[in-house]
């Protein structure tokens, strides 16, 4: 059964006896082929520029498990190289192809065609991830709480009267908090909103999702699918809030040398079940990330989702590794779970 066909919702069985791991002998790591000319702005380039470095660091961890690794940039030549090298499976780290994030779904499509097992979301899940508006519609249809939102295809589209300022504008097809800036992301009136929409659409040539900004606390939730689906959540604590609206902006995540955000464990069985449900609805696989806001009344609002979030150990500033470490899960353990599950699924097919 391919990931394109896999039915979500079931728990996975342990590998072998007593939950032992079945690990591959040879792993391919596909990462984004990054060149500055691929990206319309420096900001989007920044989110991907360390792709080779990150893949190399991860390869070092896999090598310590006595597994051979081969690195592949995500270029058209990768299919022929994979046919030649015949890795047992692939770790898919591709976030964009030629600077286009929506083309990242071509990687699982290629791997399905070549019949090579791989980590992360399948074709459908990865395609959905790069249409934030469609993801919101799916989540809303299944009862996941969201802020009021609207998709703008032109800067002059009529504003839905249900929306209330302040509003935050997000690129529909790009992740990494690109253009989620302190100064301009949140609009307090329609004039500023129209100006923001015009800039985003002219620069990135794509629709923009506008949603009500939820004043309150912020939660990051990661789901890792091992023997069973486990949800790990942390609250972002902003030590030095900058500006009127407090949120994890682009500057904090990518530009500042010292982070002013610390994390602490967050537990709520209600939110945990919502995350599991959202994971299924959006057709993620192996691991995923959701960003959630909590308003003053304690109500949850899912504000973002990412099917193949930034992956790597803590030393390359990977939020997922940092949060799971708080729960006693090391990056080596994360790798073992992913590699073993992928190999088991391949043999089950």
Q: How confident is the model at residue 327, as a pLDDT? A: 95
Confidence (pLDDT) at 10: 38
| Alpha-carbon span 171 to 153, nearest angstrom | 11
Residue 8 pLDDT: 46
> What pLDDT shows up at residue 262?
85
Q: How far is CA 185 from CA 155, 218, 243, in A?
A: 15, 16, 12
Residue 228, pLDDT score = 80
pLDDT for residue 225:
87
DSSP strand pairing (149-152 vs 261-265): unpaired
Residues of the chain below pLDDT 70 = 1-20, 227, 241-242, 257-259, 348-349
Residue-level pLDDT at 192? 98
């Amino acid at each position: 059964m391919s990931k394109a066909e896999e039915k979500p919702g079931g728990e996975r069985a342990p590998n072998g006896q007593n939950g032992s791991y079945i690990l591959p002998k040879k792993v391919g790591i596909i990462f984004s082929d990054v060149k500055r000319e691929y990206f319309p702005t420096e900001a989007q380039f920044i989110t991907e520029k360390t792709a080779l470095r990150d893949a190399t660091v991860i390869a070092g961890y896999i090598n310590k498990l006595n597994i051979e690794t081969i690195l592949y940039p995500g270029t058209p030549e990768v299919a022929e190289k994979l046919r030649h090298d015949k890795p047992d499976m692939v770790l898919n780290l591709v976030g964009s192809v030629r600077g286009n994030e929506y083309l990242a779904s071509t990687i699982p499509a290629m791997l399905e065609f070549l019949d090579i097992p791989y980590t992360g979301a399948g074709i459908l899940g990865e395609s959905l991830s790069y249409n934030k508006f469609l993801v919101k519609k799916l989540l809303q249809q299944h009862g996941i709480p969201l802020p009021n939102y609207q998709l703008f295809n032109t800067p002059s589209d009529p504003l839905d009267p249900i929306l209330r300022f302040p509003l935050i504008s997000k690129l529909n097809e790009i992740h990494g908090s690109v253009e989620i800036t302190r100064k301009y992301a949140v609009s307090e009136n329609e004039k500023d909103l129209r100006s923001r929409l015009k800039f985003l659409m002219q620069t990135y040539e794509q629709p923009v999702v506008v949603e009500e900004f939820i004043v309150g606390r912020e939660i990051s939730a990661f789901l890792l699918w091992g023997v069973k689906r486990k949800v790990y959540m942390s609250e972002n604590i902003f030590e030095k809030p900058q500006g009127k609206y407090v949120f994890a902006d682009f500057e904090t995540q990518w530009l500042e040398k010292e982070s002013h955000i610390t994390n602490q464990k967050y537990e709520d069985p209600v939110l945990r079940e919502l995350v599991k449900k959202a994971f299924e609805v959006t057709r993620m696989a192996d691991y995923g990330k959701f960003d959630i806001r909590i308003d003053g009344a304690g109500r949850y609002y899912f504000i973002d989702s990412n099917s193949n979030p930034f992956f790597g150990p803590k030393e390359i500033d990977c939020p997922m590794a940092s949060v799971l470490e708080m729960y006693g899960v090391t990056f080596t353990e994360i790798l073992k779970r992913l590699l073993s599950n992928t190999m088991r699924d391949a043999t089950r097919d």
